[in-house]
Amino acid sequence: MYDFQSQPMTNSNHPTAQGEAEQPLANPDSSLCDYVVLGGGISGLSALHFLREKHPHASALLLEKESRTGGLMQTVNEDGWSVDVGPNGFLDREPMTLEIVRNVGAEPRMQRASDNAKSRFLCLRERLVKIPLSPPAFLFSGVLPLAGKLRLLCEPFVKPRRFEDDSGRIIEETIFDFAKRRIGIKAAENLVDPMVSGVFGGDSRRLSLRHCFPKMFAMEREYGSLFKALRAKKKQNPSASAAGPAGVLTSFAEGAGELPRAITERYSKFIRTGFGAERIERAGDGWSVISVAGGVVRAKKIVVATPAYAAGKLIANVDDDAANFICEVPYASMTVICTGYKNEDERAPVDGFGFLTPRKEKRRVLGALFSSSIFEGRAPEGCFQLRTMIGGASDPDGIELTDDALLRIVHNEVETMLGISREPRMVRIFRHRWAIPQYETTHERILEALRKFETANPTIAFAGNAYFGVGLNDCVLNAKRAVEKLR
C-alpha cells in the first residue's frame, strides 16, 4: 500500500498545527501600537521585517488568524519526502527578497534549481515536446506548426495598437488578444495559454495584459514590436531573453516553507497568532482592530496584508465603496497533487522542470513539475516526486473532485505519458479554494479604489498579491511599498 494523505480544504488553504497556545501581545503594557500588520503570509511577514528594520524603536505587532504564519507558503517534510503546499520557490533576481533572506539568517540554506530544470516541455498531442531556448532551435521544434512559425516571424511588421481612448484612459486588452494580434493564434494557443495557466492558474482570454505582464505591455508601447524591444534590451543586457523572466528559481534545503519559518523565528515576539481580525474601526486619531472573538488591538497605523476578500471586509466600516471594489478581486482555485515513486517505477528518468498543457488539448491537468529534478532532497534516495496541478480559472470544478478522481486523472494524463507503471508510493493532496488572484480587464478600477482609499486614509496601506503582482518577489515589493507609504 502507498502512503496516502489528503489535506483538508480550509479557508486558510494550508494545514495548521493543532492545539498551539495563542501568543501574547508583543507589547502587553502598551494600549496603542505604532504599527499593526494584519495577515501572517509572506506579505505580512515581509512588512513586519521592513518595519523592524526601518523603525526599530517603534512598537509593531503582526496579527494572524491561524495558529501558524506563512499562509500558503508551507512545506511538509516526512519520511524523506519534502512536499511544498503552495509556492515552490522564487526567482533570485529581486534584491529586496534576498535582503530578507540574509537578515533572517536563511541564506546558508538557500538552494538553487538544478541545471536539469532548464528543460521545459509542453504537452502536445499526448506527448511531451521540449520548448527550445534559442530562436534557431525554435524554428526546427515541434512547438508550432509551420504556419504558426511563419506567422510568428511576422511580429516585427505588425503595427502597434491604439493604447488610449479619446479621454486618455488606457484601452484594456486581454493577454490572449494581445498574443493573437502580435504573434498569431497558434502561438497564443500553444505558448501563451499554458504560460498563463502556469503563472496565474488563469484564463488568458480574461486576464489583463497591462496588469499581468506590465513589462510586455510597455515593450510594445515603447518599441512598437516585441522583437524590436528584445533587440534593444539585448544591447543593454546581453543575457536578456524572450524565453522567460530573468533569475534562477530558488528555494531552501527543506522547501519553500523555510523562509516564512525563519522570518517568524526572527520576529516571534512581535507576532500574535490565533487573532482573527473581523473589522477595523476609527478610534480617535488611530484605529481599533476588532477580532471575531471580541478582542481589540489599537494601532496608529495599519498594513492590511490579507487576501483581497478579507481586506474588503476589514475596511467595510471605514469605506463601504472601496470595500466592495476590493472584494471584487476574483480568485482561481487550485488543487495540487504531489506523488512519489521509486525510480524503477518509470520507463525513463523524469528530468527537467516539468510541463504545461495548452487549453486546446482539452485535458484536466494544467501541468506538472518534476520536483525532485528541480531541487535536491525532495524525495528519498532512489525515489522521485511529481507535483501535478488541476483546476484554475478555466476549470473551477476541479477543486470539487474527490481524491480518487484526482488520482485517476493523474494516472491517465501524467503517469501514463511519462511511462510510470506503478501506483505512487506517496500521495499528498492540497486543495486551495482561494489560490491565485486574477487580474482581469476590470482590475484598474479596483486599483483606483485602493489608491483613493489610501489617499483618504494615509495611516492604512495595503500589501499582498491581489493588487500589483502575484509572485513572491511581488509580495515583498508590495510590502515595502506599504511600509514606505506609512512612513
* Lowest mean per-residue pLDDT among 343-347, 379-383, 423-427: 343-347
Q: How far apart are CA 368 and CA 392, in angstroms?
A: 13
Task: Write the CB contacts of 195 (distance below 8 Å, at least 6 apart in sequence).
Answer: 356
Q: Where are the beta strands (DSSP E) in 167-269?
A: 249-252
Task: Write the CB contacts of 41 (distance below 8 Å, at least 6 apart in sequence).
Answer: 69, 70, 71, 72, 73, 260, 305, 464, 475
pLDDT band at 242 (very low <50, low <70, confident <90, very high): low
> What confidence score (pLDDT) does residue 134 get?
79
Q: How far apart are CA 303 and CA 62, in angstroms?
A: 9
77: left (phi over 0), alpha (psi -120 to 50) or beta: beta
* Lowest mean per-residue pLDDT among 7-11, 345-349, 357-361, 460-464: 7-11
pLDDT band at 8 (very low <50, low <70, confident <90, very high): very low
Select from 261, 217, 248 the least CA-distant residue to 112: 248
> What confidence score (pLDDT) does residue 238 get?
66
> What confidence score (pLDDT) does residue 17 get?
31
- Residues 91-147 have pLDDT tens digits of 999 999 999 999 999 999 999 999 888 899 999 999 999 998 877 788 889 999 999
> Residue 23 pLDDT more than 80?
no
pLDDT band at 341 (very low <50, low <70, confident <90, very high): very high
Strand partners, 3: 426
Select from 152, 141, 3 the least CA-distant residue to 78: 3
pLDDT band at 247 (very low <50, low <70, confident <90, very high): confident
Please tell me the chain's helix, strand, coil percentages from 3-state DSSP, rounded to the nearest 5.
35, 25, 40
Q: How far apart are CA 312 and CA 326, in angstroms?
A: 5
> What confidence score (pLDDT) does residue 351 get?
87
Q: Which residue has the higher pLDDT, 152 or 237?
A: 152
Q: Across residues 273-293, what is the average pLDDT?
A: 96
Percent of the chain at pLDDT > 70 equals 91
Q: Across residues 321-342, what is the average pLDDT?
A: 97
Q: Which three cell numbers stand for residue 90?
A: 522564487
> What confidence score (pLDDT) does residue 2 get?
39
**Cα 460 to Cα 35, 66, 206, 449, 483, distances in angstroms:** 10, 22, 31, 14, 10
- Residues 402-411 have pLDDT tens digits of 999 999 999 9
Q: Across residues 366-372, what is the average pLDDT?
A: 97
Domains within the chain, CATH numbers bracketed: 18-65+76-110+253-329+439-486 (3.50.50.60), 111-118+331-437 (3.90.660.20), 136-161+170-236 (1.10.3110.10)
> What confidence score (pLDDT) does residue 77 get?
97
pLDDT band at 487 (very low <50, low <70, confident <90, very high): confident
pLDDT band at 14 (very low <50, low <70, confident <90, very high): very low
pLDDT band at 241 (very low <50, low <70, confident <90, very high): low
Helix or strand (DSSP H, E) at 151 = helix 146-153
Angle between helices 42-54 and 472-486 (to 10 degrees): 40
> What confidence score (pLDDT) does residue 54 get?
94
427: left (phi over 0), alpha (psi -120 to 50) or beta: beta
> What confidence score (pLDDT) does residue 27 get?
41
Quick check: 44 and 303 in contact, CB under 8 A?
yes
> What confidence score (pLDDT) does residue 239 get?
61
Quick check: 42 and 104 in contact, CB under 8 A?
no
pLDDT band at 152 (very low <50, low <70, confident <90, very high): very high
> What confidence score (pLDDT) does residue 455 get?
97
> Residue 9 pLDDT more than 60?
no
Among all chains, which residue has been given the C-alpha cell 484601452?
Answer: 171
Q: How far apart are CA 131 and CA 330, in angstroms?
A: 31
> Residue 362 pLDDT more than 50?
yes
Q: Across residues 211-233, what is the average pLDDT?
A: 93
- Residues 160-205 have pLDDT tens digits of 999 999 999 999 999 999 999 999 999 999 999 999 999 999 999 9
- Residues 377-398 have pLDDT tens digits of 999 999 999 999 999 999 999 9
> What confidence score (pLDDT) does residue 13 get?
38
Checking 216-219 for CB contacts under 8 A at 24+ apart, the result is 216/178, 217/178
> What confidence score (pLDDT) does residue 29 get?
36
Q: How far apart are CA 388 and CA 396, in angstroms?
A: 16
* Lowest mean per-residue pLDDT among 5-19, 98-112, 353-367: 5-19
pLDDT band at 10 (very low <50, low <70, confident <90, very high): very low
This prediction has a pTM of 0.91
* Lowest mean per-residue pLDDT among 5-14, 60-69, 189-198: 5-14
**Cα 70 to Cα 41, 43, 85, distances in angstroms:** 4, 9, 11
Q: Across residues 150-156, what is the average pLDDT?
A: 95
Quick check: 288 and 302 in contact, CB under 8 A?
no
Among all chains, which residue has been given the C-alpha cell 484564463?
Answer: 203
- Residues 467-485 have pLDDT tens digits of 999 999 999 999 999 999 9
Q: How far apart are CA 138 and CA 288, in angstroms?
A: 58
Other Cβ atoms less than 10 A from the Cβ of 319: the count is 18
Other Cβ atoms less than 10 A from the Cβ of 465: the count is 23
Q: Across residues 237-258, what is the average pLDDT?
A: 79
First to last CA, the chain: 57
- For residue 115, the Cα-to-chain-centroid distance in whole angstroms is 23
Among all chains, which residue has been given the C-alpha cell 524603536?
Answer: 57
